[in-house]
Structure 1
């Protein structure tokens, strides 16, 4: 997703490692880690009651307020979050956190790690029952997956929501379960197409509107040395988002609308895999099998790639590094399939662990942070798509100011959470965190055996869902 970030190392798996994983198992076995910390093999536990250390909120508060009190001598608040794909945001956030800590006599330690490593780190700390105080989760199934070890934050979401006109419907899929909030949603990351308008124009091609359009355009452009690029692997949020979206837009799904019945084995899933095999063979090179989240960015930045599906961080980096190339890159909506236009997106939400040293201090930090959230959106250069209604009023900050990005102001209309068409569940979150859909696609493009790929995916998903029934 990004090309340059501080303290970031590019991790590229060998193709053989990927294919071995696709044949045999997972890179991160989240379920086993949860089992190690006592997660029951049956239904998830009931939502926890609010922590006893939660400070009362002022009656009738209309806006987030700093310091609810009761957190003297806290010492250190430790935050775990991914390195942002627009490095300027991390610079801004770290300075804000430092200033907040100085003001409140709290040392704030914000640890940024690679996005590709975050799922495993989160799972390991949950299994250990300790680590950081606050977590900024980046997969929209994780708040539900880990809700039983997180503090009830309903008081925060109520106060923040009331101050900003309420939450959009998608936000309620990020941690609202059994009548309580277990996460404070912050933003989703749009997932549009970025394409070389000059290359499309030179070949008489219109912007891609459907997945069929991409097949036709990509076939032509690959023959001219300008392939498209979609990751087909594990440890890539991009791969999860794209291939889940392709599945949904072809009418397939992991689970039925009841949120319980595994539905992967269907004609629609086979249609999607048939499409995926053809798209891979006709429009891509085999490098996509070993990409992490930087792979498609690098393809576009090289000047060779013609189309990728990615957040605008790729464009922002190219604007900084190669302005002339950036002028040729335009943005279009996520492609539509036979059953509609929809995609999975990465979403960021804050959670407070039950083992946090001071829940009141953690809540105070979040209240102050959400009070200045528009500054963070600007620091992200439009990458952070807000989930509070007032912040989505047009013209939106950044997105409504740059003509290229105007289409992204309505991106909340085409996104769904894991578990679609049913509600998000812990099981759906575990499927997402184990990259089962992109690994199923990897098996299919490797040997062409669609039935075997569907059987493999179904077995993996049924094994996960059986733990929650």
Structure 2
């Protein structure tokens, strides 16, 4: 008797659970059409690298895989080439807004560009009004306003810890000061510059003047909790914090006023070298040991059709920001003034390897938290800015030599 076929997908555990529920619904619906069983496994995003490494070593596990940062590059020889499907999907949806996401070292697509997750400022507008300030536009504004908010008991909340948010935000600060981790070739380490040193000094001032030491141990959830509990006055975060506050009907402490009504999102701050922020690029790939490669390709074709994409985007409450041009001005962004930033924030966001492409080495630097660790060491006064940057440079060069 023939064994029943099962199409298996692994993805990160989404911060908006309805997004995962819709993805699973689509997988199950496609499975019925294709005559296969389906299974979707969700894993905490910080645990995924270890899971993927295990699957690659054993050459078994799932068929479809959600990839981020430089994983399409890192695992290129274990992933099916998807150029034909990327071309087909792009043509029917007005093209792609990003030509880097999903590519391997040979320039071939090893993942379908899925969506990106951006990092605007999420801020308590009522608290800013109480201290007589306008909303911040620059990092210097953030520092000035943050000092006043902290004095009021509402500190800024930016992780200096082992979290994806920390990796993203701190890269954005470095870029906004004119620094960079690597050159445009994606190979030449370039972090050791006066611009990067100044960025490290700014983060120290921001930490000491505007934050509390709890940020040194925060994960990607803690800043959401800090904002929604009424403690933090400002964080940088996707819309998940706001959406959670709205769903849970969290209240401004000591009042019956829903806190989501006084939270707004604005563009990431501008620095001396412009407005820059890292984005969490997500792609979908197929392991090349999968016995169901054609079925997996069929699911990707199905999932990226207009009807399915609209449902997935709506389920995420706009958290999933599409790479397909046809969905860039989706009506969901006009449905709530708190989402006004979404169609435009892509102008200022980059993949973590910027100005080069995200590579396998990018991914290793990311997963070792080189930037958060050296930033935290300087911010807490353990080493000076030059020492911190020298340490980051030595670690990054070591990783790139082995890439």
Task: State the distance in 2 between where 1:375 and 1:365 align.
Answer: 15
1:111-190 equivalences in 2 (<5 Å): 111-137=41-67, 139-168=68-97, 170-175=98-103, 177-190=105-118
Shift of 1:73: 7.0
Shift of 1:130: 2.3
**1:454 corresponds to which of 384, 389, 393:** 389
**2:284 corresponds to which of 350, 353, 357:** 350
Partner deviation per Cα, 1:153-208 (whole Å, 9 max, x = no partner): 1111011001101111x243332543421110110011101000000011111111
**Partners of 1:73 and 1:106 within 8 A in 2:** no
| Alignment match, 2:370 | 436
1:3-402 equivalences in 2 (<5 Å): 75-137=5-67, 139-168=68-97, 170-175=98-103, 177-234=105-162, 236-322=163-249, 324-371=258-305, 372-392=308-328, 394=329, 396-402=330-336
**Partners of 1:174 and 1:185 within 8 A in 2:** yes
Task: State the distance in 2 between where 1:117 and 1:397 align.
Answer: 34
Partner deviation per Cα, 1:119-154 (whole Å, 9 max, x = no partner): 2222332233322111111x3221112112100011
Secondary structure of 1:173 counterpart: coil
**Partners of 1:171 and 1:387 within 8 A in 2:** no
**Aligned-residue CA RMSD (Å):** 1.6
Task: State the distance in 1 between where 2:339 and 2:170 align.
Answer: 23
Secondary structure of 1:181 counterpart: coil
**Partners of 2:90 and 2:96 within 8 A in 1:** yes
**Partners of 1:116 and 1:292 within 8 A in 2:** no
Q: TM-score, normalised by structure 2?
A: 0.94
**Partners of 2:9 and 2:41 within 8 A in 1:** yes
Shift of 1:429: 2.5
Partner deviation per Cα, 1:396-436 (whole Å, 9 max, x = no partner): 23112212211221111011112222233322232223221
Q: Flag the 1:416–1:74 CA change in 2: closer, same or farther, 3 A.
A: farther
Shift of 1:360: 0.2
Aligned length: 392
Task: State the distance in 2 between where 1:350 and 1:73 align.
Answer: 26
Q: TM-score, normalised by structure 1?
A: 0.81
**Partners of 1:250 and 1:269 within 8 A in 2:** yes
Secondary structure of 1:330 counterpart: strand
Shift of 1:449: 2.3
Indicate yes or no: 2:344 matched with 1:416.
no
| Alignment match, 1:21 | none
Task: State the distance in 2 between where 1:365 and 1:294 align.
Answer: 31
| Alignment match, 2:253 | none
Shift of 1:260: 1.9
**Partners of 2:164 and 2:220 within 8 A in 1:** yes
Q: Please, which runs of 5 or more residues in structure 2 have no aligned partner?
A: 251-257
Task: State the distance in 2 between where 1:425 and 1:97 align.
Answer: 29
Partner deviation per Cα, 1:20-40 (whole Å, 9 max, x = no partner): xxxxxxxxxxxxxxxxxxxxx
Task: State the distance in 2 between where 1:274 and 1:165 align.
Answer: 43
Shift of 1:294: 0.2
Task: State the distance in 2 between where 1:185 and 1:257 align.
Answer: 21
**Partners of 2:159 and 2:218 within 8 A in 1:** yes
